[in-house]
Structure 1
Amino acid sequence: MKAVILAAGKGKRIDSVTNGENKCLLKIRDKTIIEYNVENISRIDEINEIIIVVGYRSHDIMSKIGNYYNGKRISYCIQKEQKGLINALEAAKYAVEDNDFILILGDEFIINNNYSSAIKRFYEKKYNCMIGIAEVDDINLVKKTYTIEIDENDNILDFIEKPIKPFNNIMGTGNIIFKKSFLKYIDQTPVNSIRGEKELVDFLKIILKEYGKVTTFKVGDSYINLNTKEDYYNLVRLFGIKVDIYRDSKYGVESI
């Protein structure tokens, strides 16, 4: 199995924190966000290669991570235009080759992730696709990603992107385990008429329609998708760092 980490976007909504850097290079204590993600995935025995899709300030990420990490080979694919998640995944299509893979977004952060147990279950149960989920107390958070309708056997029935009224308090994430053949459905995924790019949920709906059985796994103890300044504040709080919202420094934080 390979891992695909998407780290190509600029992250305009968090510009006030990044100061023009790729947001995956924001630092928490002694490591950048991308380093935490690469370190977590490199510990999994089933992963034999990590593919990082880069775009905005690609050299900065490549210089930071290098070609090997914890003994795992790192390779890079370039997303020439930042046209969304599915376009970024398409950039990695030939690097994935004939391998199952786990998708991870470089700006998602998980405390005590469940990647290893999820991958083992993926193979033991012979699943085709497993969607990483996070259960949230504030249902408004689900409106920022996608909502998932699930039956009593934990099988997915439907997805809705950025829902007005979520099915439940289960938030879909960008952490997804796929069978190797699923990248072929990128070509069938329609371009969103409003955003002008292919959407993850439309891609997942095609997979659900073709295979009928898609299940979930809990991504970990805590999950944050790093899109706004407030997301960053919430993340550093998880590390026990005091946030000074009145400072306009590079990271907007000070140690306790």
Structure 2
Amino acid sequence: MIARRHSVLGRLLDSAVDDEIRARVARMGTPFNELGYDSWGGSRLATERMLALSRWFYRTYFRTETRGVELIPPGRVLLIGNHSSQLAYDGMVVAAAVALEGDPPRHVHAMVERFFAGQPFVNVFMARTGQQIGLPRHCERLLTRDEAAVLVFPEGARGGGKVFRDRYKIMGFGTGFMRIALRTRTPIVPFGFVGGEEMCPSFSEMKPLARLLGAPYLPLTPTLLPLPLPARCYLRFGPPMRFEGVGDEADEVIGPMVADVEHTVAALIADGLERREHIFF
């Protein structure tokens, strides 16, 4: 039964893979082998299917307005921004923007919560579409060996699981991304994402049940389903930020650098909120 459902879904996604999607994935330059896989287990077929699905959400469902994607430099780069939307739709929109609006298009590799590594089907899906568990060694390898574009939400689960009353409030950036940026001499491109808090508004983290399931959080949303509300999305990328250091500095040294990025992201969020005229149309 499961295999049959996967087959039907696969055929539906294949029907959405057109010349634009194939050309975009080909221009990403991902080194797929003769079987269609890369060294991380990523699949060309899964990448094409995911981009086709993301395109529909990006252009039709969320009607995303993106600015500044041309500011993303070639080579290794960390994309750093605010976390929202509960169900990772924010990451999908950011990745779609870089793949569909970027010239050349790039495959964004997101760092995701360790919890998902143990979830059947989800862990395979992540690997096939190029997403990795958020371990420093994974991030550094993507940057230094693959010269990849890596997406990191430094708020972690605090940001993804925030409730609606805290919408667009940055819940505090960790320092790990900055230490990786310094160790690998990687530029940081900040971004502000608006729309995620309304597409999946959460009114409770349901912490007792989340702990029982071993999940970082368990959002209670109006739809009670994984499908988000059709909130319009506004995505703002800022100019690259570069910092000097080796990555093992004391927190007192790293802290102001992190705060600089956090303040920049907050300003980009504020710009998106100011430009937004309507939430759902």
TM surpasses 0.5: no
Structure having the higher strand fraction is 1
* TM-score w.r.t. length of structure 2: 0.28
* TM-score w.r.t. length of structure 1: 0.30
Structure having the higher helix fraction is 2
